[in-house]
Amino acid sequence: MTATGERTPRALLGGKTAVVTGAARGLGRACAVRFAEEGADLVLVDIGGDLPGVPYPLGSGSQLEHTAKLCRAHGAAVVTVAADVRRPEAVEEAARQTLERFGTVDVLLNNAGIAAPSGKAVHEIAEEEWDLMVGVDLTGAWRMTKAVVPAMVRQRSGSVINVASTAGLVGYRHFAGYVAAKHGLIGLTKAAALDYAPFRVRVNALCPGSVRDDPLNEGRMLAEIARSLEVDVDEHEEIFVQSQPMNSLIEPQDIAGAAVWLAGDDSRQVTGTTLTVDGGFSAR
């Protein structure tokens, strides 16, 4: 109770440590800050630079530090790690730093991902483009899980949240690599959920729909998808809204709220599921 007799709100993630990949901006930042608001300490992971073959800038080191600053403002203890999830040694170092600093890990949010190179029919995709997409969006999540989950198994608790997409549920023209990687991520989620259920470690997938590029989070994923589809960037939000049954784009906080629920104890019996936050898009 507070001094005025009001009930103190329950911190949904109080006492937990969460690892968030792709944390420099966008959904990663939105989720990290919300986790901090709910009492979690954080390990924020991002590549902190660009990747050859990805036709847009990725999260920078300064953006990652800004996310950390926002989280610390809510009282969270924060460690930042620059890591490319395609590199086993970098992923293992992120896991090592997590356990060295906090001694435990309760939540893994596999959010690191790219939307391009895209915009091509299947037969036009180059080998290196396919490998890049799958390497980041699918293999990266497997690699992080492989590095982090053993600690969860030892403590007999934990929650892994794989950020997939509606592209993991339906197909999109000229996005075969992205669609294949996100479908694979949902398959990985279901298999891992069965592997780790005996140890009380839960694994779930979170499937956002079209998320607005909130300037506060410095997001740009939707704009890059529009560019790959040759949609006018100045009009892309209006065009994407036309396919939304609820007549609005998804906000980053909608995804962050769902992630908090999957990370917390209120979802303790939820594993192997796909939580879709898309305003009804995939219900059609």
Tokens of 6: 């009001």
Supply the Cα-derived Rg of the chain in whole angstroms. 18
Taking alpha carbons only, the member of 58, 45, 18, 15 closest to residue 34 is 18
Task: Give CA separation, 169 vs 32, 53, 111, 119, 176, in Å.
Answer: 25, 26, 17, 19, 13
Q: For residues 142 and 139, what is the distance between their CA atoms, to the nearest angstrom?
A: 5
What is the Cα–Cα distance from 130 to 225, expressed in whole angstroms? Answer: 16
Q: Residue 249 is inside which H or E element, if any?
A: none
- Taking CA atoms, 284 is separated from 182, 212, 268, in Å, by 19, 21, 30
What's the CA gap between 89 and 61, in Å, rounded? 19
Cβ 20 vs Cβ 76: under 8 Å: no
Marked catalytic residue, from 56, 172, 178, 196: 178
Q: Which residue has the tokens 């966008």?
A: 26
For residue 15, what are the contacts with CB-CB under 8 A and spacing of at least 6?
39
Active site residue 178: yes
DSSP state of 211: B
Query: Which of 57, 62, 68 minimizes the C-alpha distance to 28?
Result: 68
What's phi and psi for 158, nearest 5 deg?
A: 155, 160
Residues with a catalytic annotation lie at 178
